[in-house]
Structure 1
């Protein structure tokens, strides 16, 4: 049994086994970006990166993993489009080790304070939580999992810089809002979480703004229940 488990674990680390056709069910919840030459940090364009500290599992309902699906789910947990869909600053990119190399974020979503239409305008003024979304769908690891770079930021007078300990705090705040039952737009969700300790390097090396992280990634599995 011990050797069978070791062999099975080793097979999961071979990228070629993870080249999944889009129509097929994922066989793992995500592929570790580092194993494919990627990183758990995105590229913030300033010599550092933001941690990909939450992953929405490929075992989630397929509709959640689409562009429209992640937006509706985000609204169910307190996030929405940027204020008037206006984005300031260049998009950040990430290499998820899936064979695509560095790819720009799919979308950036901000805390909406209970108002999906205009609440993110308040976040732009007073600060709050926000996250960037990256999809793992390259030829080496077509899992469909969504990697989120979550962080809490300061208000506009502080130029939206990341709050002290803002990466870990932002992650934990999003997870607290997500776990359990939520709904939006007539879609009901159940979300479970798994804490992956030391999944990424802890500390401040390479991290944007020199803010240390604890090395933890939280894996969310989101199921549509109606």
Structure 2
């Protein structure tokens, strides 16, 4: 059995969202192949957890995917692929999967299940399925778990955050917004992550507007 967090977003209390986090995953190629083969038993958003900065980062993408599904505005195949797409700063779905989705090399994995109208899917059924399908260590999802695996350098690159090269200055983001994170180029722990989070959530919100 896997540890599963059940999330209800305030605007959509009728839609449970099931989240599981795994470390030391050893069968990512198998899991990725199930997605490529469109195996209905594996209808999840499988995310490389190194590309998730915080729970709020994931929740923002989840809200956008669920909101678009409810209003029939999906740009991808289903709500799970839409969640992956919602994390991306651009409108390239293939790039979103390459940057945020599970890869053969993935060892830290987030699995998100949004059953929408299928009320037979429960936290218990998700826990049982993932517990048998994922070869890895199931751990509680949260700030602490992510802090140990997030690749801050990769996130800065993907979201085009200015790492603060000597001389300062910002980088122009979407719609001319200036994006500057940690202007002195030196890591500052929780403050840096909080600053990055604010900018990343803003970039995600602007996409497609």
TM-score (ref. length: structure 1): 0.27
- Which structure: greater helix fraction? 2
Greater RCO structure (CA 8 Å; 6+ sep): 2
- Which structure: greater strand fraction? 1
